[in-house]
Amino acid sequence: MKTISENRAFGGVQGVYSHASEACGCDMTFGLFLPEEAEHEPVPVVWYLSGLTCTHQNAMEKAGAQAWAAQQGLALIFPDTSPRGADIADDEAYDLGQGAGFYVNATEGPWAPNFRMWDYLTEELPHRLFSAYPLDEGRQAITGHSMGGHGALTIAMSFPGRFRSASAFAPIANPSASEWGRKQFTAYLGADEAKWAAHDACLLMKKRGFDGPMLIDQGSSDQFLELLRPEALAEAAASARQNMIFRMQKGYDHSYYFVSTFMEDHINFHAEALYA
């Protein structure tokens, strides 16, 4: 594990680290905020998955999460959104390739050798983090924004018992029925739509739901509403009788101004579940 930077923040430490990833076949970078309590004992963890075009830096620097996490004694993990490097496959479009891993294991060329974000985030990175830092593996929560909201919800529902709570800011809720999903799933997973179902939050909600509380915030003035399909997620959750709070926030768009406005609510929501 290579230390890129460490800065004192809110009584704790905001670090940035990199390591060679077996899953992605390249060096991967992540941010980790450890509150002051981590100096004495393992602390609960909130994972934050970012959206299209983002790196580990976006939420780490714009979401304001560290202040609220420090108050609750929570660690924050900010992974990258894709493999990166000169030898890694990419695309001219902003919503495919580097910065747009979509949290799946690609099976199609040219993406398959490196775009294995599902394995990276659900197996490799947790193993490295929980063996190297004072983090409580038994108390985890997960959240994310946009593409990261899609990743947070699908991962949470695919690993029963791992996460005590899940939330999302403007998630890509029904990617199988949206251009933000159909395009990427075809590229990464192939044309067989049956293979997409494991990465669609609405379909997973109908199939199994989540074994804990959920919180979803969506801006009513989000410029990408038609691509996100929040109404499909709300309907699926109601049908599954999921323990979910769904809030349509009037006038808010898709930006980090929206995310930072409601970050305190999400951190407190997860703290309640993590300390229950």
Active site residues: 146, 222, 254
Q: What is the DSSP string of the chain?
A: -EEEEEEEETTEEEEEEEEEETTTTEEEEEEEEE-GGGGTS-EEEEEEE--TT--SHHHHHHS-HHHHHHHHT-EEEEE-SS--STTS---SSTTSBTTB-TTSB--STTTTTT-BHHHIIIIIHHHHHHHHS-EEEEEEEEEEBTHHHHHHHHHHHHSTTT-SEEEEES----GGGSHHHHHHHHHHH-S-GGGTGGG-HHHHHHHT--SS-EEEEEETT-TTHHHH-HHHHHHHHHHHT--EEEEEETT--SSHHHHHHHHHHHHHHHHHHHT-
Helix axes 256-274, 65-72, angle to 10 degrees: 10
| Alpha carbon distance 64, 83 (integer Å) | 25
Beta strands 244-249 and 26-34: pairing type? Answer: unpaired
